[in-house]
């Protein structure tokens, strides 16, 4: 694994490169191409519809005047825009592998990341959660230039030992967020363990939110999205996505295996565009974006990541 100093050197370079792009756009008008990235909670286990927080969040964004499309190689939920990048039971390293495949293809401009719950579910503690999630976030910044990441703390759990693990993982996430923010990279942390997030009484089965819990999660994500908008972090999605999956049908709550299999029938499109809402801006590949890719290739190679 690359050392922290290398990772942060790369992050700092991104922050530098992206400064002028941020200033050039009104973040609240830029269409969102959101990748919900995680495991069963993101997929929608515990939700009667399979929607997870995703439909509630989309409704909040649309009501706010934003243009939204979700991207991911999987689908779940009883709504049209139900693409998701999440598999039940996945630990951080598996979520990283999902992202390494999906992010370069789908080029989200916002990633909502919820990872680590299943590491705690294995028992014990997870002292390297923060380090590995830092690498995951760094990879997202490289694979989808200009992307913003919102990381969430992991949910409360009614079992004391399980919850203690979650608390220490969340402390690592707070530390990594402070470190990444200190060099100006586009990451914020939202706290699902706050009073605004699901309480133990908002869990369906001790691990996953129920419908009321997912409404709370949507509200917490929405607050985070308003924060990244106000900070001018959101830039137009890349035109260089090679695939957009979703918005083409529903997959009822289903087993992980069959839902994953559905990705083989994904629709390939060459000019992905947001499908909902109003205020869509034309997207294009400017010289700045091309220059950015060149700069990144250099830094990535130099850092040996």
Q: Does 211 bind ligand NAG (CB under 6 A)?
A: no
Q: Does 101 bind ligand NAG (CB under 6 A)?
A: no
**How many Cα atoms are found within 13 Å in the side-chain-facing hemisphere of 16?**
10
Kindly state the number of chain residues that form the binding site for ligand NAG, as judged by CB under 6 A: 15
Residues 248 and 113: their CA atoms lie apart, in Å, by 23
**How many Cα atoms are found within 13 Å in the side-chain-facing hemisphere of 215?**
4
The site map against ligand NAG for 47-86 (x = CB under 6 A) is --x----------------------------x--------
Q: Does 126 bind ligand NAG (CB under 6 A)?
A: yes
Residues 140 and 100: their CA atoms lie apart, in Å, by 8
Interface residue with ligand NAG among 3, 20, 24, 26 (CB under 6 A) is 26
Interface residue with ligand NAG among 60, 71, 129, 176 (CB under 6 A) is 129
Which lies closer to ligand NAG via its Cβ, residue 102 or residue 126?
Answer: 126
Residues 173 and 228: their CA atoms lie apart, in Å, by 18
Smallest separation (angstroms) from ligand NAG to the CB of 26: 4
Tokens standing for 216?
């709370």
Which lies closer to ligand NAG via its Cβ, residue 195 or residue 284?
Answer: 284
Name every residue whose Cβ is closer than 8 Å to that of residue 280 and which is 6 or more positions away in sequence. 31, 67, 273, 274
Residues 134 and 127: their CA atoms lie apart, in Å, by 13
Nearest Cα neighbor of 151 from 164, 168, 165, 134 is 134
Which lies closer to ligand NAG via its Cβ, residue 129 or residue 259?
Answer: 129
Interface residue with ligand NAG among 12, 29, 183, 305 (CB under 6 A) is 29
Tokens standing for 234?
């959101």
Interface residue with ligand NAG among 47, 82, 109, 119 (CB under 6 A) is 119
Exposed (0-12), middle (13-18) or buried (19+): which is 218, by Cβ within 10 Å? buried
Which lies closer to ligand NAG via its Cβ, residue 60 or residue 194?
Answer: 60
Q: Does 240 bind ligand NAG (CB under 6 A)?
A: yes
The stretch among 23-31, 178-186, 267-275, 294-302 that binds ligand NAG (CB under 6 A) is 23-31
Nearest-Å Rg of the Cα atoms of the chain is 18
Interface residue with ligand NAG among 128, 163, 191, 211 (CB under 6 A) is 128
Other C-beta atoms within 10 Å of 304: how many?
Answer: 9
| Residue 31 φ/ψ, nearest 5 degrees | -65, 140
The stretch among 67-75, 80-88, 128-136, 175-183 that binds ligand NAG (CB under 6 A) is 128-136
Smallest separation (angstroms) from ligand NAG to the CB of 115: 9
Which CA distances in Å does 94 have to 30, 37, 86, 111? Answer: 31, 11, 10, 16
Which lies closer to ligand NAG via its Cβ, residue 34 or residue 126?
Answer: 126
The β-bridge relationship of strands 74-75 and 187-190 is unpaired
Smallest separation (angstroms) from ligand NAG to the CB of 147: 14
Report the interface residues with ligand NAG, using CB under 6 A.
1, 26, 28-29, 49, 78, 92-93, 104, 119, 126, 128-129, 132, 240
């Amino acid at each position: 694994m690359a050392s922290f100093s290398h990772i942060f050197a790369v992050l700092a370079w991104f922050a530098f490169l992206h400064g002028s792009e941020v200033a050039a756009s009104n973040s609240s008008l830029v269409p969102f191409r959101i990748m919900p990235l995680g495991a069963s909670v993101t997929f929608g286990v515990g939700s009667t519809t399979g929607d997870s927080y995703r439909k509630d969040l989309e409704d909040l964004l649309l009501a706010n005047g934003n243009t939204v499309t979700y991207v991911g190689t999987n689908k779940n939920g009883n709504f049209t825009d139900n693409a998701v990048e999440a598999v039940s039971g996945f630990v951080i390293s598996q979520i990283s592998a999902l992202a390494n495949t999906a992010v370069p293809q789908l080029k989200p401009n916002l990633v909502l990341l919820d990872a680590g719950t299943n590491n705690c579910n294995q028992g014990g503690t997870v002292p390297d959660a923060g380090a590995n999630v830092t690498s995951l976030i760094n990879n997202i910044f490289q694979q989808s230039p200009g992307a913003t990441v919102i990381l969430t703390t992991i949910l409360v759990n009614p079992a004391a030992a399980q919850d203690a693990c979650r608390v220490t993982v969340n402390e690592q996430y707070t530390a990594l967020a402070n470190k990444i923010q200190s060099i100006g990279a586009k990451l914020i942390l939202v706290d699902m363990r706050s009073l605004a997030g699901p309480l133990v009484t908002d869990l369906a089965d001790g691990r996953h939110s129920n419908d009321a819990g997912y409404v709370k999660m949507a509200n917490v994500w929405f607050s985070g999205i308003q924060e990244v908008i106000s900070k001018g972090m959101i830039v137009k999605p890349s035109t260089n996505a090679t695939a957009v999956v979703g918005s083409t049908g529903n997959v009822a709550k289903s087993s992980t295996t069959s839902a994953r299999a559905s990705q083989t029938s994904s629709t390939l499109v060459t000019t992905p565009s947001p499908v909902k809402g109003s205020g869509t801006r034309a997207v294009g590949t400017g010289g700045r974006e091309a220059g950015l890719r060149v700069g990144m290739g250099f830094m990535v190679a130099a850092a040996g990541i």
